[in-house]
Amino acid sequence: MINMKLFFLITILSLLIGCSEIEDKRNNEAQTKAEIRLMVSNYLKTAENMDAKSMVEYYYESPDFHSYVDGKRYNYIEMKDLVLNDWNEQFKSIKKLEFNYDSIFVYSYKPDQAISFFQAEEIIIDTLDNKYSIQTNVTFGCVKDGNSWKIAYEHGSTNELD
């Protein structure tokens, strides 16, 4: 009888421990997704403010970094140079950017790596106050760098302007 009670107690404890590990994993994943959504949202705010220096701080410095702009592939150094040195010159006719989006989706496939993607309406206001609306699809490959998430891969596609 004691062995049966002991067996029952061990079984209950095993189930409780197993369930707590599952719950902990779900909580960690939910927290990771929330952290990435916040990082992407903050990155978009820096883009809206056309704050080139802050934009670069979101990039993960790595030989594996890739960004695609207008069909051209940039590594980390090239993208950093583009944003810090050429961004304002290339986009000097832009007065303001706005991104309207509903959700930022995140798929975690390792504890320190995830894919984030979203669809947005990008509104461009030029220096003559003309407004242009572009539908944009963006994908970010995200990696954990210390205590923060960074963008290691970026790809966007848009419809053509009228």
- Contact between 123 and 133 under an 8 Å Cβ cutoff? The reply is yes
The structural domains of the chain, ordered by start, are 2-158 (3.10.450.50)
pTM (two decimals): 0.76
What are the pLDDT digits (tens) for 88-98? 676 778 888 89
Handedness of CA 145, 76, 159, 47 (dihedral sign): positive
What are the pLDDT digits (tens) for 1-34? 555 655 555 555 555 555 544 445 556 888 999 9
